[in-house]
């Protein structure tokens, strides 16, 4: 079995490719919950929903988040009522949040609710939250500390990034913990998720980094930076604000000690020697996922690396 680690959009695209190539019993997808929050009384898990909607083929590819064929009547009502309207909630999407909130209030865990939601849309692979306890990402900015969604959605990542911390002292989710200890685990695959906003929350969970460093299976990460720019989202802006050049090489540095191989796009091939000098194998391959074919091809390349005899690859 392989374990995929995912944030929202970038991780979800690779997860969808992996799910096309691997049987349900051969893949578990663990998803960041640091972005989760309660809004208008509803329990919202943006990355879990992005992964779920993408795997089910229900996501809106134009908008980049939420469900396709969405309508917005409820938002119109909320606006008329003068309620907060900075976080868009589509009518169809609301069903997910209502169901999740209701089941959590009945005492179900986020892992259980996620399994129920996924089953209802026909997903057969395991999608699990990184934690069942609230793990809240807080961003330190030029305007002070902001909760994740305040920074990301309400302020469109405009305040300069200064740092990140996590509130709540969340523990590893039971499913993620058991997969990490499972003798049948064959590989750990980090999708091209934002290494700071989406992957750091995993590393902050007690035991995750130690399990990663002590692993006996290959671990691979895919670069979210292609051609010195982020494919989407604020990663390039954040790296610049951290005083770091925007490159695949700089992302690779963040993963040193945690992975065996780093996947970069063909346009970044000139950076391969410098990444190898960090002690990582480098896989150079088309890494931009624009449709099912490119997602599946990238997934296959990563799986091939993980399945090969490591000694044979290194010599
Ligand atoms: P978020 O939580 O929705 O921001 O999603 P993630 O953290 O999972 O993914 C965001 C990152 O995915 C961004 O930094 C993008 O550059 C990266 N990304 C999005 N699409 C692609 C793609 O097709 N290929 C690669 N290599 N990276 C991508």
In the chain, what are the domain boundaries? 2-134+167-307
Residues 27, 20: Cα–Cα separation, whole Å: 10
Q: Look at residues 257, 129, 137, 130 and name the one whose alpha carbon lies nearest to residue 197.
A: 137
CA of 165 from ligand 1 middle (Å) equals: 21
CA 117, CA 127: separation in Å to the nearest integer?
Answer: 10
pLDDT at 312: 46
Q: What is the pLDDT of residue 131?
A: 97
Residue 189 confidence class, pLDDT cut points 50, 70, 90: very high
- Average pLDDT value over all residues in the chain: 96
Determine the Cα–Cα distance for residues 110 and 142; give it in Å rounded to an integer. 33
Ligand 1 close to Cβ of residue 4 (< 6 A) = no
**Confidence band, pLDDT 50/70/90 cuts, at residue 169:** confident
Distance 168 CA to ligand 1 centre (A): 26
List helix spans (H) across 182-278: 200-203, 208-213, 235-241, 248-255, 272-276
pLDDT at 113: 98
pLDDT more than 90, % of the chain: 96
| Domain 2-134+167-307 fold | Rossmann fold (3.40.50)
pLDDT of the residue at 22: 98
pLDDT of 314 reads 42
Classified as helix, coil or strand, 146 is strand
Q: Which residue owns the Cα nearest ligand 1 atom 6?
A: 193
pLDDT tens digits, 118-157: 999 999 999 999 999 988 999 999 999 999 999 999 999 9
Q: What are phi and psi of 198, to 5 degrees?
A: -110, -30
Q: If you measure from the C-alpha of residue 299 to the centroid of ligand 1, how many angstroms do you get, rounded to a whole number?
A: 15
Q: What distance in Å separates the CA atoms of residue 279 and residue 65, rounded to the nearest whole number? A: 36
- Work out whether strand 261-264 and strand 229-230 pair parallel, antiparallel, or are unpaired: unpaired
Angle between helices 91-105 and 73-80 (to 10 degrees): 80
Count H helices and E strands in the chain, helices first. Answer: 14, 14
At 170, the pLDDT band (50, 70, 90 cuts) reads confident
Does residue 226 have its Cβ closer than 6 Å to ligand 1?
A: yes
From 36, 192, 234, 237, give the residue whose CB has the most ligand 1 atoms within 8 Å, as the site to mutate: 192
- Ligand 1: residue whose CA is nearest its atom 12: 10
Average pLDDT estimate for 62-90: 96
- pLDDT, residue 315, reads 35
Please report which confidence band the pLDDT of residue 308 belongs to, taking 50, 70 and 90 as the band edges: confident
Q: Of ligand 1's atoms, which has the minimum distance to the CA of residue 47?
A: 2
pLDDT score recorded for residue 309: 63
pLDDT band at 178 (very low <50, low <70, confident <90, very high): very high
User: CB-based contacts of 8: which residues, under 8 Å, 6+ apart?
Assistant: 32, 35, 46, 47, 50, 51, 65, 193, 198
225 CB-contact burial (10 Å; exposed 0-12 / middle 13-18 / buried 19+)? buried
Asked if residue 81 has pLDDT above 70, the reply is: yes
pLDDT at 313 over 80: no
Lowest mean pLDDT among 25-34, 73-82, 169-178: 169-178
SS3 109: coil
Place of tokens 């990444």: 275
Residue 45 near residue 110, CB atoms below 8 Å: yes
**What pTM does this model have?**
0.96
Cα(311) to centroid of ligand 1, in Å? 31
pLDDT band at 310 (very low <50, low <70, confident <90, very high): low
Distance 35 CA to ligand 1 centre (A): 15
pLDDT of residue 307: 94
Report CA(191)–ligand 1 centroid distance (Å): 8
Q: Does the beta carbon of 8 sit less than 6 angstroms from any atom of ligand 1?
A: yes
Pairing of strands 281-284, 261-264: parallel
Cβ–Cβ < 8 Å for 130, 172 = yes
Ligand 1 pocket check for 11: Cβ under 6 Å: yes
């Amino acid at each position: 079995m392989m374990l995929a680690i995912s944030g929202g959009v970038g991780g979800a695209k690779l997860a969808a490719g992996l799910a096309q190539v691997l049987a349900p019993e051969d893949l578990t997808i663990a998803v960041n919950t640091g972005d989760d929050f309660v809004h208008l009384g509803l329990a919202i898990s943006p990355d879990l929903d992005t992964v779920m909607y993408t795997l089910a083929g229900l996501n809106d590819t134009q908008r980049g988040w939420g469900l396709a064929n969405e309508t917005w009547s409820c938002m119109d009502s909320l606006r008329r009522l003068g309620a907060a309207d900075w976080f868009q909630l589509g009518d169809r999407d609301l069903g997910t949040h209502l169901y999740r909130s209701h089941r959590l209030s009945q005492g179900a865990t986020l892992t259980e609710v996620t399994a129920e939601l996924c089953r209802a849309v026909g997903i057969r692979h395991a999608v699990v939250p990184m934690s069942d306890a609230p793990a809240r990402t807080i961003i330190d900015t030029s305007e002070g500390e902001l909760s994740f969604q305040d920074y990301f959605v309400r302020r469109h990542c405009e305040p300069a990034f200064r740092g990140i911390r996590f509130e709540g002292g969340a523990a590893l989710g039971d499913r993620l913990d058991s997969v990490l200890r499972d003798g049948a685990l064959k590989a750990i695959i980090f999708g091209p998720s934002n290494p700071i906003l989406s992957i750091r929350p995993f590393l902050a969970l007690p035991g995750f980094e130690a399990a990663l460093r002590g692993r006996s299976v290959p671990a691979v990460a895919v670069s979210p930076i292609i051609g010195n720019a982020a494919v989407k989202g604020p990663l390039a802006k954040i790296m610049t604000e951290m005083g770091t050049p925007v490159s695949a090489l700089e992302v690779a540095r963040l993963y040193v000690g945690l992975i065996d191989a780093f996947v970069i796009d063909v346009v970044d091939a000139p950076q391969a020697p410098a990444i190898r000098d960090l002690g990582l194998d480098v896989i150079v391959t088309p890494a931009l996922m624009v449709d099912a074919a490119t997602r599946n091809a990238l997934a296959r390349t990563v799986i091939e690396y993980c399945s090969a005899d490591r000694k044979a690859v290194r010599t």
